[in-house]
Structure 1
Amino acid sequence: MSKDEVFNKIADIIADRFEIDRDKITPQLNFKTDLDADSIDFVEFILELEDTFGAEISDEAAENLNTVGEAVDYIVANTDSK
């Protein structure tokens, strides 16, 4: 799966989960500041990423995912769907 495909899937999840216009989602979008996601929202989002991509995201790795771009890079680097 290409980086663009991963980005598009993550953007679709964010648009649906956080009720944000899909066109406003960029790699620089910050989960905590731009989406105003609380810890429960973020954990649910991480679980959805795990389900969608078949990836396991440790708590430590999740804490370091601040932007959409970082999430895309993590998924691409840590799944077999490259």
Structure 2
Amino acid sequence: MTKDQIFDRITYLIREQLHKPDLVITQTTSLHDDLGVDSIALMEFVISMEDEFNLEIPDEDVEDLECMGDMLNYLVGRLN
């Protein structure tokens, strides 16, 4: 899976979770500031990504993920 494919997939997941299919998301989009994701929504998103990519994301790793680019780079590192 390419980096662009991974990004497309995670942006799809967050749009679905937030029920905002037209939401514009870039790699600099902040999970908290721009998307308004609270800790519960973040954990739901992480669970969706774990299911989608068939991996386990430790809680301590989630703490370092502030924007969609962080999430993308983390997943690229874990999947490749």
TM above 0.5: yes
TM-score (norm 2): 0.91
Query: Which consecutive residues of structure 1, in runs of 5 or more, have no partner in the other structure?
Result: none
Say if 1:65 and 1:71, in contact at 8 Å, map to a contact too.
yes
Say whether 1:9 aligns with 2:12: no
Aligned to 1:45: 45
Answering whether residue 33 of structure 2 is matched by residue 33 of structure 1, we say yes
Supply the AA of the counterpart residue of 1:72: L
CA offset digits 1:43-76 (Å, max 9, x no partner): 0000111110112111110011111111111111
Aligned to 2:71, the other structure's residue is in SS state helix
Point out the more displaced range, 16-25 or 50-59: 16-25
Number of aligned residues:
80
Secondary structure of 2:16 counterpart: helix
- C-alpha distance in 1, partners of 2:39/2:23? 24
CA contact (8 A) 1:26 1:68 kept: yes
AA at the equivalent of 1:67: C
The alignment yields a C-alpha RMSD, in angstroms, of: 1.3
Residue 60 of structure 2: aligned partner = 60
Structure 1 residues 4-42: Cα deviation after superposition (integer angstroms, max 9, x where no partner): 000000010111111334451101111111111111100
TM-score, length-normalised on structure 1? 0.89
Identity of aligned residues (%): 34
Alpha-carbon distance change, 78 to 56 in structure 1, aligned in 2, over 3 angstroms? same
